[in-house]
Amino acid sequence: EKEGYDHFMLKEIHEQPKGLYETLNRRIEEDGSIKLDGINMTKEDIENFNKVFIVACGTAYHAGLVGKFAIESLAKIPVEIDVASEFRYRDPFVDDKTLFIAISQSGETLDTLAALREAKRKGARILSVVNVVGSSVARESDDVFYTWAGPEIAVASTKAYTTQLMCMYLIGLYMGRKKEVISDEKYNQYMSELQDIPDKLTELLKSESSIHDLAKELYKKEQVFFIGRGADAGVSYEGSLKLKEISYINSFAIAAGELKHGTIALIEKDTLVIALATQDKLYEKMLSNIQEVKARGAYVIGIAKEGNKEIEKQADRVIYIPDCMDEVSPLLSVVPLQILAYYIAKERGCDIDKPKNLAKSVTVE
């Protein structure tokens, strides 16, 4: 069932163009409008919300970090985000004007389910973004929006994450459209960027063997830092989690601008830093963050959009992703990080599909 791949994780990485295509195209009508099957919110319902609260765990939480950007900018509504295990014990401000969004691949994560029940008790409308059809989270939600990733077997989540991101963009666009706060021009630009993603991802997957070569150089590192700004910061957290959970390397992610407030103390000669620099409007800022760590001797792998070559002057190595609008780059930029994590773990001889201490769905507190 691994269809020739050595591990489910690698197979699932390669299934991402298809998962994204399905998640998007099943929701587009012939006239180009978005139809969110499973979501029964009226214009009035949407206008009634004064806040969105996204709650999830682990990788799904990281999808929520990008979702916050997307929904705030598209639907013009404040978005709070929390990990489920914190949300449920802290008496958050949630009421009948809150749209609560739970994100969960399995739909069985206990903390997420408990947070959902707490939000429901307080009167929030519950929308879930779930992969497993008919799971507990799906059953207990008012509206369910499925990711069309297909079954995810590997413990390390890959295609669930990217399809969750796609859902977040679609929810933002849908709400923005209903509220009439998004121009036709912006809507059409987003839709065409999203529709190009599956092909761009197929293109990007061709860099697998060069990323494998890079992994052979790097796999003995015992410490890695991931840095980024804006949407790239969210992707840094996900890249770092992916690497640590399957390779057992101590990895840490931080918003690049925060480095100098303490963490830079840990950067020394040959420290590996993976720097995401895919945001055009933050590119120069990232280049100066790269300079800061280079000045302390770091070995830097940059992730940038094709064409943005200035980074080559500072980073030791650069992995390019296809050019795209800043807002949707997480759909692409996470993929080299998934592949790098996979091959580093493989070079280290780790049991990739079943990392130690981890279970596919966490149904205990």
Active-site annotation holder among 2, 18, 221, 360: 360
98-104 vs 51-56, strand pairing mode? parallel
Residues forming a β-bridge with 301 = 274, 317
Residue in 53, 59, 56, 96 with CA at minimum distance from that of residue 78: 53
Contact between 362 and ligand F6R by CB under 6 A: the answer reads yes
Q: How far apart are CA 77 and CA 68, in angstroms?
A: 10
To ligand F6R, the closest distance from the beta carbon of 319 in angstroms equals 21
To ligand F6R, the closest distance from the beta carbon of 307 in angstroms equals 31
To ligand F6R, the closest distance from the beta carbon of 59 in angstroms equals 3
Q: What separation in angstroms does the CA of 83 have from each of 60, 116, 353?
A: 9, 12, 24
Please choose, out of 22-30, 65-73, 98-106, 308-316, the segment that lies near ligand F6R by the rule CB under 6 A: 98-106
Closest to ligand F6R by CB, 34 or 335: 335
Number of residues that bind ligand F6R (CB under 6 A): 15
- 279-316 per-residue burial string, b: 16 or more CB within 10 A, e: under 16: beebbeebbebbebbbeeebbbbbbbbeebeebeebbe
Closest to ligand F6R by CB, 15 or 245: 245
Of positions 34, 52, 54, 60, contacts ligand F6R by CB under 6 A: 60
Please choose, out of 58-66, 92-100, 221-229, 266-274, the segment that lies near ligand F6R by the rule CB under 6 A: 58-66
> Phi, psi at residue 148, to the nearest 5°?
-100, 55
Instruction: Count other C-beta atoms under 10 Å from residue 189's C-beta.
Output: 13
CA angle 46, 49, 53 (to 5 degrees): 115
Contact between 58 and ligand F6R by CB under 6 A: the answer reads yes
Of positions 16, 23, 98, 105, contacts ligand F6R by CB under 6 A: 105
Please choose, out of 55-63, 142-150, 210-218, 277-285, the segment that lies near ligand F6R by the rule CB under 6 A: 55-63
Q: Per this entry, what is the length of the chain? A: 365
Q: What is the dihedral of CA 247, 248, 253, 259, to 10 degrees?
A: -120
Instruction: Count other C-beta atoms under 10 Å from residue 129's C-beta.
Output: 35
CA atoms within 13 A of residue 323's CA, in its CB half-sphere: 5
Of positions 16, 98, 109, 329, contacts ligand F6R by CB under 6 A: 109
Please choose, out of 53-61, 120-128, 192-200, 225-233, the segment that lies near ligand F6R by the rule CB under 6 A: 53-61
- DSSP secondary structure code for residue 96 in this structure: T
> Would residue 360 show up in a list of annotated catalytic residues for this protein?
yes
To ligand F6R, the closest distance from the beta carbon of 244 in angstroms equals 10
Contact 224, 240 (CB under 8 A): yes
User: At which residue do the structure tokens 């749209």 appear?
Assistant: 99
Contact between 112 and ligand F6R by CB under 6 A: the answer reads yes
DSSP-based helix, strand, coil % in the chain, nearest 5? 50, 15, 35
To ligand F6R, the closest distance from the beta carbon of 130 in angstroms equals 8
Closest to ligand F6R by CB, 74 or 155: 155
Contact between 64 and ligand F6R by CB under 6 A: the answer reads no
Q: Within positions 156 to 215, which residues make up the interface with ligand F6R, using CB under 6 A? A: 156-157
Q: Which residue is nearest to ligand F6R (CB)?
A: 58
Contact between 106 and ligand F6R by CB under 6 A: the answer reads yes
Closest to ligand F6R by CB, 245 or 326: 245
> Which residues bind to ligand F6R, rule: CB under 6 A?
57-60, 104-106, 109, 112, 156-157, 241, 245, 361-362
Active site residues: 360
